Amino acid sequence: QVQLVESGGGLVQAGASLRLSCTASGRTFSTYAMGWFRQAPGKEREFVAAINWSGGNTYYADSVKGRFTISRDNAKNTVYLQINSLKPEDTAVYSCAAGRSYTYTQLTKYDYWGQGTQVTVSS
């Protein structure tokens, strides 16, 4: 069992940066690939980025490449999502999830989910 808690969201202006964190409980964090997803108002949840267990491999949605960076610190049981040059269309609830492969983009491939953190970008 893995419990995930996200933090770091907030209300920011366009062009700003944020670093989201997702901290896991349990000793098995380092065995999981981790993903970030987001859900904008009125839209389905979508894949954003994922990282493998060691942090050596990452995968991004085309829409966020170049602005988003996923990383992890297994000693702290934490995965991060650095978001630069925020845009109003980045407004969403951002959730982290634990799964078995960083190449998975489908929601159903992830076993554990956090509650999410709200990111709101004003223009």
pLDDT in tens, 22-66: 999 987 999 999 999 999 999 999 999 999 999 999 999 999 999
pLDDT at 39: 98
Write the pLDDT tens digit of every residue in 103-117. 899 999 999 999 999
- In the chain, the percentage of residues whose pLDDT exceeds 90 is 93
pLDDT at 46: 97
Overall average pLDDT of the 4-21 stretch: 98
pLDDT at 27: 77
Res. 1 pLDDT band, cuts 50 70 90: confident
Rounded Cα distance, 18 and 73, in Å: 17
Mean pLDDT, the chain, integer: 96
pLDDT at 26: 80
Measured CA to CA in angstroms, residue 22 lies from 6, 42, 88, 114, 116 at distances of 4, 24, 22, 8, 9
